[in-house]
Chains A and B, each alone.
Chain A
């Protein structure tokens, strides 16, 4: 039986579009004929189901005989989110040990069908929770980094790379999300006040695959086309483990590009 490839969609910065990327990755791999599971492990602010177009996450179904949780299906994707458990509105005020225990349970309690890929939508955090998540994913295939190519996002990309280096987790590559805005008329523009940083060349210099540059647009066909390419690259990429040296050089290069981007704006 083929092993499921488990990938964490990660960024220490909030608002980079991890849930949207997770949903689109799921759809892209499904279009390629893969069986895909999506697990939202952002226990305090789960939004994956929203990215899949659901106003509300359906309640969990349980298998009484095996005492397991059954994923619900959205567009033939198998989905599990904590939003099903406590609803859409309440603030989740669990202490960290409780969150960690819940995450460990969730990883063990879901009765997934035979999957080719399982994508985990993770919270923007380097907390003990995230450290434990990587520790309990013994069969982790790799991390898909999600970042915007803006100066303000770069500081957190450096921190994310340092976190991954410490955890010795393999990296599949980086998705440059909301890389450019495309209007309904097809006009391209940079929508942010923060200067644009050329993350692609940094990735290229240091051997981290740039998986794709996803536009911010309502033209879903353009987004789908980019994610189809990203899915191809993920399939054909061997994840790399960042050595101390590579991570340090990468962080310095990203910081340098950010400074250059700011100087160009002066």
Chain B
């Protein structure tokens, strides 16, 4: 059975219209620079997963081959869950008891590790692309994911 992280990433990877819309919002220079990049996302824990993804001109696709990775992003499932809680509340009054954690704070706190040859540069590009272009588009997915997570937690 797929883990919650796998289900979430499958949702995100299926939404090619969102990928394309985000890509088209980038400047032509930035788009040229990022298309073709390949990275690995590792979410540890029983509900985690490993994803190798490549950004192509027509969206993000999953791959199996782990050669030529530009970056590796590592976090545990609890961190991903906190980010989803944060994202689900974006633009709305935040639940003071359960505000979640924004990705930059998670990174500063050391809960997200990013590796690569130009970590600062790449991390900045990733966060900026998420903040400027993708977060609001991903929010409905985050809300669904949060509901699924809470249901899974309730069901034990």
Q: Residues of A with Cβ closer than 8 Å to B?
A: 59-60, 62, 64-65, 67-69, 85-87, 89-95, 98, 101-102, 105-106, 109
Contact = CB atoms under 8 A, between A and B. Distances in A.
A62 B128 CA distance: 10
A62 B124 contact: yes
A93 B104 contact: no
Nearest to B101: A90
Contacts of A87: 102, 104-105, 108
B120 A89 contact: no
Nearest to A65: B29
Contact of B105 (A68, A89, A98): A89
B30 interface: yes
A67 B117 CA distance: 11
B32 to A, nearest CB: 7
A67 B102 CA distance: 25
Interface of B: 27, 29-30, 32-34, 102, 104-105, 107-110, 113, 118-121, 123-125, 128
A93 B110 contact: yes
Contacts, number: 64
Contacts of B128: 59-60, 62
Contacts of B30: 62, 64
A90 B111 CA distance: 12
A44 to B, nearest CB: 9
Contacts of B109: 90-93
A71 to B, nearest CB: 13
Nearest to B124: A60
Contacts of A94: 108, 110
Given A86-B107, A87-B104, A90-B109, A64 B120 contact: no
Closest 3 CB pairs of A and B: A86-B108, A90-B108, A90-B105
B105 A106 contact: no
